[in-house]
């Protein structure tokens, strides 16, 4: 089955959402637009607006949706709901305006439980909300599952350099078709990307989250020491790390969350296929493939490890020593 039409739709809507989120980010420090989520990370106007825009644009009765946000908190804040509604409608000029009820309905399309064989979009509307607040890296991560397998992924990274002269990337991949990067404004020809070909693990650079609450820096440092890695870690928010590794900015990404934490599928679905289609490998910390077919959560063990594939087994062996 070809997913090309779905991929082009995903790229198009992520491009619009990326531009919209940048507009929100530019005024973020001057206006209040945050709530406190139960997991203590901030929710912004952008989180809600991106989810409403993408799900409303993709919803044609064909798909199910798994996404991070719900409208419950939004409905309790009329000012924020109005802001989200205005933000989405401003990003879709020439379209019939969406009502506040339609915005909430679009957001709540993402409540699907998953765990079956249906075509299901998986969305993290603003992955890296703390990076968003710091005016640094964040990512709009959209993937498509078919029978529980990730078949395409799109990463909108509005603040990640495309080249020396332009900021803003969209990474995308389709199963069996390679991985590509294009400028977020679409003015450049897409270019195929490949993971780094570096073979000496001791000369590699590993990547990890900015927030120590998201991943144990201590465990990452121990793994790096076992492997003889001398370079300091490259710390970056969000699934931008997946895109950066896929184009060779680093060679290893390690994530070691707190004990008992269950990963959300939207935090890894889109990014994992981008790395794999660029020639890399993504598994859990003990080398098992990631399983996105169990519902909204994953049952991985020992964290997440992504590499250029050349020395993945060596990294996994080191991780097992540390766990």
Query: Does the annotation mark 40 as catalytic?
Result: no
**What tens digit of pLDDT does each residue of 54-75 get?**
999 999 999 999 999 999 989 9
pLDDT digits (tens, 9 = 90+) for 80-105: 999 999 999 999 999 999 999 999 99
Residue 166 CB partners (closer than 8 Å, separation 6+):
183, 188
Q: State the binding site for Mg(2+).
A: 68, 124, 127, 267
200 phi and psi, to 5 degrees?
-90, 105
Q: What is the pLDDT of residue 272?
A: 98
Q: How confident is the model at residue 31 (pLDDT cuts 50, 70, 90)?
A: low
Q: What is the pTM of this model?
A: 0.95
pLDDT value for 134: 85
**What mean pLDDT is reported for the chain?**
93
- Known binding-site residues equal 68, 124, 127, 267
Q: Which residue has the higher pLDDT, 2 or 183?
A: 183
Q: Which of 44, 47, 120, 281 is catalytic?
A: 47
Report the CATH superfamily, name and number, of domain 4-193. Fructose-1,6-Bisphosphatase, subunit A, domain 1 (3.30.540.10)
- The CATH architecture annotation of domain 201-322 reads 3-Layer(aba) Sandwich (3.40)
Q: Which residue of the set 85, 129, 281, 307 is catalytic?
A: 129
- 59 as an active site residue: the answer is no
In the chain, % helix, strand, coil (3-state, to 5) comes to: 35, 25, 40
For the chain, what are the domain ranges?
A: 4-193, 201-322
């Amino acid at each position: 089955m070809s997913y090309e039409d779905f991929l082009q739709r995903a790229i198009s809507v992520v491009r619009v959402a990326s531009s919209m989120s940048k507009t929100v980010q530019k005024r973020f420090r001057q206006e209040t637009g945050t709530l406190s989520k139960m997991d203590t990370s901030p929710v912004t106007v952008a989180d809600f607006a991106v989810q409403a825009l993408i799900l409303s644009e993709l919803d044609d009765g064909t798909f199910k949706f798994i996404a991070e946000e719900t409208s419950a908190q939004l409905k309790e804040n009329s000012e924020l709901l109005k802001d989200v509604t205005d933000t989405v409608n401003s990003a879709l000029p020439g379209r019939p305006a969406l009502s506040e009820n339609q915005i909430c309905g679009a957001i709540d399309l993402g409540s699907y439980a998953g765990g079956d064989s249906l075509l299901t979009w998986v969305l993290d509307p603003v992955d890296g909300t703390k990076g968003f607040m710091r005016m640094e890296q964040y990512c709009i991560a959209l993937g498509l599952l078919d029978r529980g397998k990730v078949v395409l992924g799109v990463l909108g990274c509005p603040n990640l350099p495309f080249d020396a002269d332009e900021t803003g990337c969209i990474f995308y991949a389709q199963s069996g078709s390679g991985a590509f990067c294009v400028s977020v404004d679409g003015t450049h020809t897409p270019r195929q990307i490949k993971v780094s070909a570096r073979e000496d693990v001791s000369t590699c650079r590993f990547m990890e989250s900015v927030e120590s609450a998201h991943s144990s820096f201590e465990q990452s440092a121990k793994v790096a020491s076992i492997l003889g890695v001398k370079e300091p870690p490259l710390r970056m928010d969000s699934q931008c790390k997946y895109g950066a590794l896929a184009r060779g900015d680093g060679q290893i990404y390690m994530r070691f969350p707190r004990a008992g934490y269950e990963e959300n599928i939207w935090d890894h679905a889109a990014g994992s296929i981008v790395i794999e289609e660029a020639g890399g490998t993504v598994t859990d910390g003990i080398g098992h493939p990631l399983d996105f077919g169990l519902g909204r959560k994953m049952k991985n063990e020992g964290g997440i490890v992504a590499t250029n594939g050349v020395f993945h087994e060596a990294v996994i062996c080191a991780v097992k020593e540390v766990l």
